[in-house]
Amino acid sequence: MRYKETKEQSAEILRLTLPLMAQHRAAYHPQTYTLWYEHVAGINPRLSNELDQRVARRESLTDDDVWRLHANFVIARDAEALERMHQRLQTLLSDTATAASSAGLEATQFNQTLLLHKDQLARPLAMNLITDIVADLITDTERMRVVTKELTEQLERSTQEARHLTEQLKQAEHQAKLDPLTGMLNRRGLEQRMQSFVEDAGSLQGGAMLLSDIDHFKTLNDTYGHLLGDKVLRAVGQVICESIKGRDIAARIGGEEFAIFLPDTTLEGAAILAKRICAATSARTIRRSGTEQCIDRVTISIGVAASRESDTLETLIDRADKAMYAGKQAGRNRVSLYQTA
């Protein structure tokens, strides 16, 4: 959803939102702010009703609560908006088809009238009959002109609305696939890109999956605050995007986790890239805006798994996740490979 509030309006919403967020256990991450922003702005009545009920019951929202509410009342709301646009487009096509059919029927009748009058005029007629035929022709021609004008106007309206709906659909579908914080693909975007890859290549075989997780991210958030934590997420996302090329697919799939699929890449080749990403991340300096305060070195752990012909996205991520977890257990800030038994 594209928010329409001005800078001044959004500043007032921010002022009202922060005290509400502070009353709950959930972290100050973008999903939390989105919920309370839409509640304060009054643009999501269903969400507001749910939040009001929870506040009345004195329930303190946790991070898990926030993720569920965001999925049910924000993501689902945007999905419903897409469905409404699809339905409107179908109605538009139906109305246009009806108008065209009506005009076609009128044209058929007009053609039959012309043929009839042509036959009548092929033989000598009295003046009064000729006058009647001319009057009929004038009447039928005017009716056809009106029908044609209405069809033309309907087609023009349909064309304009179709263009408008098409643009809205493109924007909504594109935004629904992106992580708003990093600008990378989100989990849904990753799933769609991977599905397209499988449809083109036949399977995932021959590639490799990298699954990365920022080390001690919760501690980092608690120490430096969530605004700086968001800056870390953007910085890691930027490192990843700068490190991939061509048909490589990268996404932020939730929290501090990032996934990278490398087509036509061996396990060893993927490990080399993963080590470069680890090194580039730890070498990056991240400062608090407007100050000289820097975050202690940020590191990530990456698990790498080679893809198989029978793999789905879930099974491939699962193996990469197991490798990453092993790296965490071994001390973090390292690349771990999934080794088959």
CA–CA dist 145, 191 (Å, integer): 53
Active-site entry in 256, 257, 292, 314: 256
Residue 196 in 3-state DSSP?
helix
Q: Bridge partners of 260?
A: 210, 250
Q: Do residues 24 and 51 touch, judged by C-beta distance below 8 A?
A: no
The neighbour count for residue 19, using CB atoms within 10 Å, is 9
Is 314 labeled as catalytic in the residue annotation?
Answer: no
Q: Do residues 203 and 309 touch, judged by C-beta distance below 8 A?
A: yes
Q: Do residues 76 and 64 touch, judged by C-beta distance below 8 A?
A: no
Phi/psi for 287 (5° steps) reads: -110, 150
Report the sign of the C-alpha dihedral through residues 47, 53, 54, 58, in that order: positive
Name every residue whose Cβ is closer than 8 Å to that of residue 117 and which is 6 or more positions away in sequence: 133, 136, 137
Paired tokens of 211: 């699954």
CA–CA dist 207, 198 (Å, integer): 11
CA–CA dist 24, 65 (Å, integer): 10
List, by residue number, the catalytic residues: 256
